[in-house]
Amino acid sequence: MKSRPNWPAGLFAVAWLVIVLGPLVYVLTASLRSRADYLTSGTLAVPENPTLDNYTTVLTGGFAQYLLNNVIVTVATVAIVVLVGVPCAYAVVRGTGRFVQRGFTLLLAGLAIPAQAAIIPVYLLITRMHLYDTLTAIILPTAAFALPVATLVLTNSLRDVPRELYEAQAIDGAGSFRVLVSLVLPLARPAIMTVVVYTALNAWNGFLFPLVLTQSQSSRVLTLGLWNFQGQFGTNIPALMAAVTLSVLPIFVVYLIGRRFLLSGLTAGFGK
Amino acid sequence: MQSQRPSSWYAVPAFAFFGLFAALPMVLVVYLSFTSWQGLGTPTFNGVANWSRLISDGEAHASMGRTLLLMVVSWAVQTPIALLIGVWAAGKQRSRAVLSSIFFLPLLLSTAAIALLWQALLDSNFGIFAGGPQFLGDPDIAIYTVVFVISWQYIPFHTLLYQGAARGIPASLYEAAIIDGAGRFGRFFNITLPQLRYTIVTSSILMLVGSLTTFDTVLILTQGGPGTASRIIPLHMYITGFSGFEMGYASAIAVLLVVLGTALSVIVTRATGFRAMSSQQEGS
Amino acid sequence: MKIWALQDQVLNPIEQKSIDSFKAAGGNGSLETFGNDPYKQKLRVAIGSPNAPDVFFNWGGGNLKEYVDAGKIADLTPVLDQNPELKNAFIPSVMDGAKIDGKQYGIPMRGMQPVLLFFNKKVFAEAGVQPPKTWDDLLSLVDTFKNKGVQPISLAGSQAWTELMWAEYLLDRIGGPEVFKAIRDNGAAGWKHPAVLESLTKLRELIDRGGFGDNFASVGYDMGGASTIMAQGKAAMHLMGSWEFVNQQDQSPDFVKNGDLGWTAFPAIPGGKGDPSNVVGNASNYYSVTSDSKQLDAAKKFVSTTLHEDSYVQALIDAGDVPAVVGVEDKLAKAPNADYTTWIYNTVKEAKHFQLSWDQDLPADDATFMLTQLQELFLKKVSPEQFVNAVAAR
Say how far residue C114 (Cα) sits from the centre of its chain.
6
Rounded Cα distance between A63 and A245, Å, is: 12
Q: Which of A129-138, B223-232, C89-98, C262-271 has the lowest mean pLDDT?
A: C89-98
* DSSP letter assigned to residue C124: H
For residue A2, being part of any structural domain is answered with no
Chain A residues in contact with B4 (beta carbon < 8 A): 166, 169-170, 174-176, 179
Which amino acid makes up residue B215?
F
- Put simply, whether A267 touches C (Cβ < 8 Å) is no
Q: What whole-number distance in Å separates Cα of residue A38 and Cα of residue A252?
A: 26
Separation CA B124–CA A103 (nearest Å): 52
Determine the distance from the C-alpha atom of residue C279 to the mean position of all C-alpha atoms in its chain, rounded to a whole number.
Answer: 10
Contact C2 A235 (CB under 8 A): no
The pLDDT assigned to A136 comes to 96
Check residue A270 and give its pLDDT: 65
Number of structural domains chain A divides into: 1
Please report, for residues A84, A94, C218, the alpha-carbon distance to residue A180 in angstroms, rounded to integers and kept in the order given.
12, 10, 56
Would you say residue B281 has pLDDT above 60?
Answer: no
Chain C contact for A231 (CB, 8 A cutoff): yes
Of B11, B105, B255, Cβ closest to residue A100: B11
pLDDT at B278 over 60: no
Residue C261: its pLDDT value, please?
Answer: 96
Residues C272, C123 share a domain? yes
CB contact under 8 A, C225 and B126: yes
Rounded mean pLDDT, A187-210: 91
Peptide bond just before C78 cis, omega within 30 deg: no
Kindly determine whether residue C223 and residue A235, on different chains, have CB atoms separated by under 8 Å: yes
The most confident of the ranges B35-39, B96-100, B267-271, C142-146 is C142-146
**Residues 6 or more apart from A268 whose CB is under 8 A from it?**
A149, A153, A194, A195, A198, B281
Question: What type of residue is A47?
Answer: P
CB-based contact, B59 to chain C, within 8 Å: yes
Percent of chain A with pLDDT over 70: 96
Q: Do B40 and C47 touch (CB under 8 A)?
A: yes
Facing residue for C251 by CB, picked from A128, A132, A234: A234
Is residue A9 situated within a structural domain? Answer: no
Q: Contact partners of C by the rule of 3+ C-beta pairs under 8 A?
A: A, B
Average pLDDT over chain A, rounded to whole? 88
pLDDT given for residue C4 in this prediction: 94
Distance from CA of B40 to the nearest CA of C (A): 4
Please judge whether A118 and B254 are an interchain contact, meaning their C-beta atoms are less than 8 angstroms apart. yes
Q: Judge: A130–C45 Cβ closer than 8 Å, yes or no.
A: no
Separation of CA C91 from chain center: 17
Q: Do residue C120 and residue C103 come from a single domain?
A: no
Domain of C197, in residue numbers: 113-280+356-392
Domain membership flag for residue C339: no
Give φ, ψ of C209 to 5 degrees: -75, -10
Contact with chain C for residue B39, Cβ under 8 A:
yes
**Collapsing DSSP states into helix, strand and coil, what is residue B186?**
helix
Of A91, A181, A199, A63, the closest CA to residue A139 belongs to A199
Q: Which residues of C130-156 are buried (b: 16+ CB within 10 A; e: fewer)?
A: ebbeebeebbebbebbbeeebbbbbbb
Q: CA-CA distance, C94 to C112, in Å (whole number)?
A: 8
* Residue A23 in domain: no
Same domain, C128 and C105: no
C222–A236 CB contact, under 8 Å? no
Closest-CA residue in chain A for B152? Answer: A20
CA distance A3 to B96: 14
Smallest CA–CA distance from C222 into chain A, residue: A231
In the beta sheet, which residues pair with residue C289? Answer: C55
The neighbouring-strand residues paired with C33 are C5
Q: What angle do CA B252, B253, B254 make, to 5 degrees?
A: 90
Chains touching chain A through at least 3 C-beta pairs below 8 angstroms are B, C
Q: How far apart are CA C297 and CA B119, in angstroms?
A: 46
Report CA Rg, chain A: 23
- Structural domain including A128 reads 62-267
Minimum Cα–Cα distance from C231: chain A residue: A39
**Whether residue C373 is found in the same domain as residue C288:** no
Q: Which residues pair with C238 in a beta bridge?
A: C118, C154
Same domain for C201 and C67: no
Show residues of chain C in contact with A232, CB under 8 Å: 7, 9, 35
| CB-CB contact of C103 with C288 (8 Å) | no
Residue A216 near chain C (CB below 8 Å): yes
pLDDT tens for each residue of B45-56: 999 999 999 999
Asked if the model's pLDDT at residue B179 lies above 80, the reply is yes
Judged against a pLDDT cut of 60, whether residue A4 lies above it is answered with yes
Cβ(C306)–Cβ(C314) under 8 Å?
Answer: no
**C265 lies in some domain:** yes
Q: How far apart are CA A136 and CA A141, in angstroms?
A: 9
Per-residue pLDDT in tens (0 to 9) along chain C, 394 residues: 999 999 887 889 999 999 999 998 888 889 988 877 668 777 877 887 777 899 999 988 887 888 998 899 999 999 999 999 998 999 887 888 888 888 999 999 998 989 999 999 999 999 999 999 999 999 999 999 999 999 999 999 989 999 999 999 999 999 999 999 899 888 899 999 999 999 999 999 999 999 999 889 888 887 888 999 999 999 999 999 998 998 898 888 899 999 999 999 999 999 999 999 999 998 889 999 999 999 999 999 999 999 998 999 999 988 878 999 998 999 999 988 889 999 999 999 888 888 989 988 888 889 989 999 999 999 999 999 999 999 999 8
More confident residue, A173 or B222: B222
Q: Which domains, from first to last, does chain B contain?
A: 58-232 (1.10.3720.10)
| Average pLDDT of span A170-178 | 84
Question: Are the Cβ atoms of A215 and C251 closer than 8 angstroms?
Answer: no
Give the model's pLDDT for residue A91: 92
The pLDDT-based confidence of A9 (bands split at 50, 70, 90) is confident
Mean pLDDT of A187-202: 90
Terminal-residue alpha carbon distance, chain A: 23
Question: Number of B:C CB contacts under 8 A?
Answer: 95
* Average pLDDT taken over every residue of chain B: 88
CATH number of the domain encompassing residue A115:
1.10.3720.10
Q: Is residue A103 part of a domain?
A: yes
Q: Whole-model pTM?
A: 0.85
Inter-chain residue contact B139 with C67, CB threshold 8 Å: no
Residues A106 and A113: their CA atoms lie apart, in Å, by: 11
| Mean pLDDT, rounded, for B174-187 | 88
Question: Strand pairing of C99-100 and C30-34?
Answer: unpaired
Residue to test with chain B: of A3, A120, A185, most B Cβ within 10 A = A120
User: What chain C residue is nearest to A134 in terms of C-alpha separation?
Assistant: C51
Same-domain status, C148 and C254: yes
Whether residue C336 lies inside any domain: the answer is: no
Q: Does A261 touch chain C (CB under 8 A)?
A: no
Residue A249 lies in a domain: yes
Under DSSP, the state recorded for B224 is T
Q: What single-letter DSSP state applies at residue B170?
A: -
This complex has an ipTM of 0.90
B247 at A interface, C-beta within 8 A: yes
CA Rg value for chain C: 21
Look at residue C185 in the predicted model and tell me its pLDDT. 81
Same domain for C137 and C246, yes or no, is yes
Confirm if A42 and A101 have CB atoms less than 8 A apart. Answer: no
Contact between residue A203 and residue A154 where contact means Cβ atoms under 8 Å apart:
no
Minimum Cα–Cα distance from B120: chain C residue: C223
Q: Is the domain of C216 the same as that of C302? A: no
**Whether residue A3 has pLDDT greater than 60:** no
Nearest to C223 among A212, A218, A230 (CB): A230
CATH number of the domain encompassing residue C104: 3.40.190.10
Same domain (yes/no): C46, C85: yes
Q: Does the distance separating the beta carbons of A127 and C49 come in below 8 Å? A: yes
Residue C317, beta-bridge partner list: none
Q: Is C118 domain-assigned?
A: yes
Relative to beta strand C2-6, strand C30-34 is parallel
Residue C211 CA to residue C139 CA, distance in Å, equals 8
The C-alpha atoms of residue C394 and residue B239 are separated, in whole angstroms, by 17
Most distant CA atoms of chain A, gap in Å: 77
Reply yes or no on whether the pLDDT at A172 is more than 50.
yes
Q: Rounded to whole angstroms, how far apart are CA atoms B63 and B51?
A: 16
How far is Cα A261 from Cα A250, in angstroms, rounded to an integer? Answer: 15
Q: Is the dihedral of CA C183, C184, C186, C187 positive or negative?
A: positive
Q: How many separate domains does chain C show?
A: 2
In the three-class reduction of DSSP (H, G, I as helix; E, B as strand; rest coil), residue C215 is classed as: coil
How far is it, in rounded angstroms, from Cα C50 to Cα A133?
A: 10
Backbone angles phi, psi at C58, to 5 degrees: -155, 180
The answer on C268 and C293 residing in a single domain is no
